[in-house]
Amino acid sequence: MIHTANITYNKESDIDLFSIDGKKIEHNMILKTASLIGRNINIKSTTESKFSSSLKNNDPLINEVVSNHIVLKGVDKFCDIMWRYYETK
H helices, E strands: number in the chain: 4, 3
d(CA 56, CA 54): 5
Q: What is the pLDDT of residue 13?
A: 84
Q: What is the rounded distance in angstroms from the CA atom of residue 5 to the CA atom of residue 61?
A: 10
CA–CA dist 58, 40 (Å, integer): 28
Other Cβ atoms closer than 10 A to 44: 15
What does pTM read for this prediction?
0.78
Given this model, what pLDDT does residue 34 score? Answer: 95
What per-residue confidence (pLDDT) applies to 7?
Answer: 55
Residue-level pLDDT at 76: 94
DSSP of 4-43, one letter per residue? Answer: E--S---TT--EEEEEES-PPP-HHHHHHHHHHHTS-EEE
Domain count along the chain: 1
pLDDT tens-digit profile, the chain (89 residues): 544 555 566 777 898 899 998 788 888 999 999 999 999 999 999 999 999 999 999 999 999 999 988 899 999 999 999 999 999 87
* Residue 47: domain span: 2-88
